[in-house]
Structure 1
Amino acid sequence: MSRKRWGWVLLIGILYFGMMGAGSCGKKAKDQIGRAEAAVEEAKQAQAPEYAPDEYKSAEESLDSARQQFDNRRYKKAEEDATTAEAQARDARDKALAARRQAEEEAARRRAEEERRLARTNTSALFGDTLNDYQNVPSEEELARQVLHDVHFAFDSSELNENARGVLDLNIEWLKQHPNVKIEIEGHTDEQGTEEYNLALGARRAKAVYDYLVAAGIAPGRMRTISYGESMPLNPASTEEAWSVNRRAHFAVMQ
């Protein structure tokens, strides 16, 4: 074979393998951009634009750069930018979830403080002057409905935080003073998540309260649990404020 022909064969081989390499790089870059897009969407669903705006903006900018590099067939740079975007989006999501949980716990703390204040006020009013007039004394069931207060939970959690335990301690004190009252502990959730998941989450919340009361000395025979999931919201709005109110365990009196 002549040198000229060998030269053509070599050139064709170089072009062929170059195209194969470019195609492989393009696929890797495209796949990475897809992963970055999914990560950015997850961050958005976690409310990162509100709770971690700087990190979320950086992820969006890196993703836009990756798309531009891909359109210009700079596949290696596109893949690098997409990898950066994915990492930034994960960081934004994690920070948003942490900030969101902190905000919810602070709201729950304030709500619990108000509930404890109301509980003390109601108890004082109910057991003050009315005890001097037997005819005006409400029944134990009526008292329970006024004195036993709900406890609230953080997003996607059945853990009793310090504020929830404080409210429960007041409820326990009253229940020990009224051993004939039987209660049903209702578990409730917000509307986020599937119906099946929320029923299970509501059951875990009711069980957490039940276990706390049993550990404090309330007889198991005085209590039962039930989950209503998302079906009985106190506030039907689709806002964070409404959701935080609806994530609760409620005390109902058993007749």
Structure 2
Amino acid sequence: MGKAHTGDGGAGECMKRKAYERELAKLHCELVKLQDWVRHEGKKVCIVFEGRDGAGKGGAIKAITERVSPRTFRVIALPTPSDREKSQMFLQRYVPHLPAASEVVIFDRSWYNRAGVERVMGFCTERQAENFLLAIPEVEKSMVDSGIILLKYWLEVSQEEQTRRLEARLVDPRKTWKLSPMDLKSYSRWYDYSRARDEMFQRTDTSWAPWRIVRSDDKRRARLNIISDLLSRIPYEQVPRKDIQLPKRDKKHGYEEPDYRLKYIPDIF
């Protein structure tokens, strides 16, 4: 089983890009080994990411998935529930996305919306939130008993860093899409979210599906720490690969380039 750690610098200083990219490349190699093992052994892995707006969930997920196959690593980021979904049993919209054999499913926010944003913003009743908190430990036990490797990560960001990141979204055209009206409403409810988070941890941190907390003020360190941790918690092994060589190309056999003009895009760069 592959395990890795960064061991680079102290927690008080931001990690330099070159050091980050060097360590990330090593971890990407291990993620490819994990992917091969999941496919070969028919394993089922489910990774849940939760945290406040701006905590770095999307960046962490991108770091995990950028060098592996989307056919094996599936990212689930569900939109606001439709009227039909609102009428269903709460977990019904999540269950179809759980992993089958040879899949790694990553939830960018999950069923824990009910214990967080829905509860804080009044999208569910207190009774519904309470019923969720009572039921979800046993639901997750059923998932684990079915053979799913379930990992739950909470990205913890400070007030100051969250403010800096959300303000950056206001002025950076590449990030404005990340800032929704709900983000702005949520921003003002820091301590309501803290209370909801604390109760969620207390009620759903179980021996079979524990919460793992990630310090995420330094995005680069957070990403490396998450990947390193998840690799250490899955008992993967390197799957033997056959030596591969490129075959010879076929012969021309009279082929000629077409005489009509192909429509190439402009060479602007």
Same fold (TM over 0.5): no
Q: What is the TM-score of this pair, normalised by structure 1?
A: 0.26
Larger RCO: Structure 1 or Structure 2 (Cα < 8 Å, ≥ 6 residues apart)?
2
> Rg larger in 1 or in 2?
1
Q: What is the TM-score of this pair, normalised by structure 2?
A: 0.25
